[in-house]
Amino acid sequence: MVRTVSVTDKTIQVKVFPARLLQPETAEKLLNEIDRVKGVLRMLIGGKNLPRKITCGPGTGADVNHPDMRVIHVGDQAFELHVMVGHVIVEVEDESILEPLKQACERGLPFSFEFRRGFFIKKKATLTDYGKYGFRSRTDERINLDDERMLGMIDPHAKPEERFCIIGAEEES
């Protein structure tokens, strides 16, 4: 279940920098507003990591019950936030989607934000991707990746079930 639109060189990437770190409720509202915009191909959230365990000191190994580590719902998918959202990278089909995307950010954020265009997520496989995903065969050097939109989206240090989640996927006909 994936959207049929593919990532090409014509796609545009935008980084939304809110004026402050987002609380889970605000992050959920913003991501849902962005998800409703037609033409959004993929989103990537980033920010300060919320640790699961204490890594040093007398409480080493104990669980950290951070109040911002909550399950949020985006589209029809629920997932646990592992970061305090500091920015959102969005990739869209073309130039015409930028204005609706900016309006969605204005609806989702109760404070100011920066809206920067640039190149933030890679579009082609690198040597590291070949190491992560492997080869299809010895003669074919393309990576074994079902959906090219996953390039640059997976945390290689995360557990397999926590690496990414597909939101708003559509079944191919």
Mean pLDDT of 36-63: 90
State yes or no: pLDDT of 120 exceeds 60.
Answer: yes
Answer with the residue of higher pLDDT: 121 or 172: 121
Measure the CA–CA gap between 173 and 162, rounded to whole angstroms: 28
- Kindly list the distances between the CA atom of residue 58 and the CA atoms of 61, 63, 70, in Å, as whole numbers in the listed order: 9, 13, 26
- The whole-number pLDDT of residue 171 equals 47
Cβ proximity of 21 and 111 under 8 Å: no
Mean pLDDT of 93-103: 94
The DSSP symbol for 63 reads B
The structure's pTM equals 0.74
Cβ proximity of 145 and 61 under 8 Å: no
Element (H, E) at 31: helix 24-35
Answer with the residue of higher pLDDT: 159 or 37: 37
Three-state SS for 96?
helix
Return the bridge partners of 17, or none: 114
Answer with the residue of higher pLDDT: 5 or 36: 36
Mean pLDDT of 126-154: 57
Q: Which two tokens stand for residue 74?
A: 């985006």
63-67, 136-140, 157-161: which has the highest mean pLDDT?
63-67
- The whole-number pLDDT of residue 71 equals 92
Answer with the residue of higher pLDDT: 106 or 137: 106
pLDDT in tens, 54-89: 889 998 999 988 888 899 999 888 988 889 999 999
- The whole-number pLDDT of residue 121 equals 82
- Give the alpha-carbon dihedral of 147, 150, 152, 153, to 10 degrees: 180
Answer with the residue of higher pLDDT: 173 or 131: 131
Q: Which two tokens stand for residue 47?
A: 């920010």
- The whole-number pLDDT of residue 1 equals 27
Measure the CA–CA gap between 84 and 166, rounded to whole angstroms: 20
State yes or no: pLDDT of 157 exceeds 90.
Answer: no
State yes or no: pLDDT of 139 exceeds 50.
Answer: no
Q: What is the largest CA-CA distance in the chain?
A: 56
Provide the residue type at 48 as one letter. K
Cβ proximity of 143 and 75 under 8 Å: no
**Per this entry, what is the length of the chain?**
173
Identify the structural domains of the chain with CATH numbers, from first to last.
Answer: 1-121 (3.30.70), 123-163 (no CATH)
Measure the CA–CA gap between 36 and 164, rounded to whole angstroms: 19
